[in-house]
Structure 1
Amino acid sequence: VDEDKGLIRAHGKEIVVLREARNPKDIPWRDNGVSLVVDCTGKFQDPHADADDAKGALRGHLAAGARAVVQSSPFKSKREGVALPDDSAFLIYGINHLDYDPGKHKLVSAASCTTTALAHMMRPLLARDLTHNMITAGMSTVHAATASQPVIDSVPASGAKDLRKTRGAMDNIVITSTNAAKALEQVMPEIATIGFMADSVRIPTVTASLIILNVTFQTEMLPDGTVSVDRDAVNAIFREAAEGEARGLVKYSEEQNVSTDMIGENAAVVIEAIETHTRTGFVDLKLANGVERVPLTHVKIFGWYDNEMGSYAHRLGQLTSHVASTL
């Protein structure tokens, strides 16, 4: 480390550390030949905000010389119900990263750790005819504590609606919200036709989280009296994906895992296959010529992910490399 020159030397390379400007538009990217910026501050999330916004904005990086910006969190706009700007895109590596258009997209959101893991759980199911006919879905993420939570109980801000967010992170289990399902629609538009609920439960651990995914399918009765979607069929889908189109992104495990086993895990999601469960019920539809019994199968699937340096950070790195390769 050379503090006087603002340099860090690692593996034979010199890395320039820019320490003066805080507002993106004032950072000398152009002077340092920087074409791609990865913004991990979490401070500038509105893709509509102008470059000269007094509080700073993602577009400030573009004004300062960058050709593109990758943000390590979901976009959050102050303009409710307004579509993303044409030059902005939600992208998840392995899901829709090939949609990146260097001639069009200047601002890219890499979504969140939970949305990334959820997308890689949903994609294999939606890609198969057997499980494509989803009726409803619900997701709960049992999520490690994050930097947004206070270490100890704190005083709520004036007008705060969710007082639980001010409780100590390492002393409480906290029910909170997540925009994972809403963000998922940005990368997998077909999700919009499914009734999807999502919530989050923060727990007092440092990293590694767990998605509990519940999906209801319209299924079929087979000649032998069984249903088309059962535990073995669902696990076979994830095993096939892990060995095929999602190799390295989806991991299939028949081990009895716990959260610390997932710290540093590379895969976007690890399916805990021994905990996959299904139950089937029937709905009687009254037709002109009688009643038809329609089977509906409820499936519960567990998926682990490292929400910090593992699963999400690796996908962010891969997405960044892909964007950089096209500039």
Structure 2
Amino acid sequence: GGRYEHGCRVLCVPDALLHRAWQVQVQRDDDEEQPLRCEGRHACGEWPPYPVREGVAEPGDLPWGKLGVEYVIESTGLFTAKAAAEGHLRGGARKVVISAPASGGAKTLVMGVNHHEYNPSEHHVVSNASCTTNCLAPIVHVLVKEGFGVQTGLMTTIHSYTATQKTVDGVSVKDWRGGRAAAVNIIPSTTGAAKAVGMVIPSTQGKLTGMSFRVPTPDVSVVDLTFTAARDTSIQEIDAALKRASKTYMKGILGYTDEELVSADFINDNRSSIYDSKATLQN
């Protein structure tokens, strides 16, 4: 039980605030993603097929070594600083992946873009960046690799609301707009996703910026990139390059579609980014 692709096995899910019964329920009854289904010898009441530890607040207090855990996915959103995430190493883990932008010098890796820079003897805590960066960076990577170049660019993400937003108007001291009701508003917000691309594609450092609009959808977001190429080109040439990349060196990371699809069609899609050729314009 608890096994995923490539021989990975989930051994434990800790949560300092929530109970095991809640974990079981949300994994069986997910409103947006495909819920876990009970299979084989595991009855529904026995899900998940790995222990859930309650009431442990600090990474260093988790007994990863005793549990045989080698790799930790730090996805609480609380320990995104490298020094804080290193607590998992003190608990016995070998490697930590922070599922968000990180501070404090953690190496940022985006699959398909700069994952080859990973050094197992040096990088024990790494960041996988944000979902928006994982969408934008593969596109920019192909544009740079195929010789189109990016002189300057503006990214806008039309982003689904997140767990930190409010269902009704409420208090948000640092971000007053962010305190407004998520399901009935388009909420302008900041994002560092575009600038983060410069961390994984150094040639674009200082050339990209962007902002976010939080919208009333629960899942799947859109990235709109407007850029000036370094040479003359055409939509047809860019389409061909991205389509070719999606079938070769970016396969499984970058997708390509020329169908008339909408956001809900991409729920549960495993790829980081899907290029929509129907939505591409040239000035």
What range is the shorter-chain TM-score in? 0.7 to 0.9
Which segment drifts farther, 206-215 or 237-246? 237-246
CA separation of 1:34 and 1:10: change in aligned 2, threshold 3 A: farther
Q: Does 1:196 align with 2:231?
A: no
TM-score under structure 1 length normalisation: 0.70
Matches within 5 A, 1:114-129: 114-129=132-147
Deviations 1:211-264 (A, max 9, x none): 101110243xxxxxxxx4011111111111112211122111111111111111
As a proportion of its length, which structure holds more strand? 1
Distance 2:119 2:39 in 1: 32
Report if aligned partners of 2:63, 2:92 keep a CA contact under 8 Å in 1.
yes
Structure 1 residue 153 displacement after superposition: 0.5
Structure 1 residue 11 displacement after superposition: 5.6
Deviations 1:71-129 (A, max 9, x none): 1111035xxxxxx1xxx311111111122111111111111110001011111100012
Deviations 1:139-184 (A, max 9, x none): 0000000111111100233xx3x31011011110001010102221
Report if aligned partners of 2:195, 2:209 keep a CA contact under 8 Å in 1.
no
Q: Secondary structure at the match of 1:140?
A: strand
TM-score under structure 2 length normalisation: 0.80
* Higher radius of gyration, 1 or 2: 1
Matches within 5 A, 1:106-255: 106-129=124-147, 131-132=148-149, 134-157=150-173, 160=174, 162-192=175-205, 194-219=206-231, 228-255=232-259
Distance 2:74 2:40 in 1: 23
Alignment match, 1:301: none
Q: Does 1:66 align with 2:101?
A: no
Alignment match, 1:294: none
Distance 1:10 1:40 in 2: 26
Length, aligned pairs only: 244
Report if aligned partners of 2:187, 2:214 keep a CA contact under 8 Å in 1.
yes
Report if aligned partners of 2:257, 2:274 keep a CA contact under 8 Å in 1.
yes
- Look up the equivalent residue of 1:171 and give its one-letter code: V
Report if aligned partners of 2:235, 2:280 keep a CA contact under 8 Å in 1.
yes
Q: Secondary structure at the match of 1:183?
A: helix
Q: Secondary structure at the match of 1:197?
A: strand
Structure 1 residue 12 displacement after superposition: 6.2
Coordinate RMSD, CA, aligned: 2.2
Q: Secondary structure at the match of 2:211?
A: strand
As a proportion of its length, which structure holds more helix? 2
List alignment gaps of at least 5 residues for structure 2: 2-18, 25-37, 43-48
Report if aligned partners of 2:221, 2:263 keep a CA contact under 8 Å in 1.
yes
Q: Secondary structure at the match of 1:141?
A: strand
Distance 1:10 1:45 in 2: 35
CA separation of 1:11 and 1:19: change in aligned 2, threshold 3 A: farther
Alignment match, 1:26: 61
Identity value in percent:
33
Structure 1 residue 18 displacement after superposition: 2.4
Q: Does 1:271 align with 2:275?
A: yes
Distance 1:212 1:144 in 2: 14
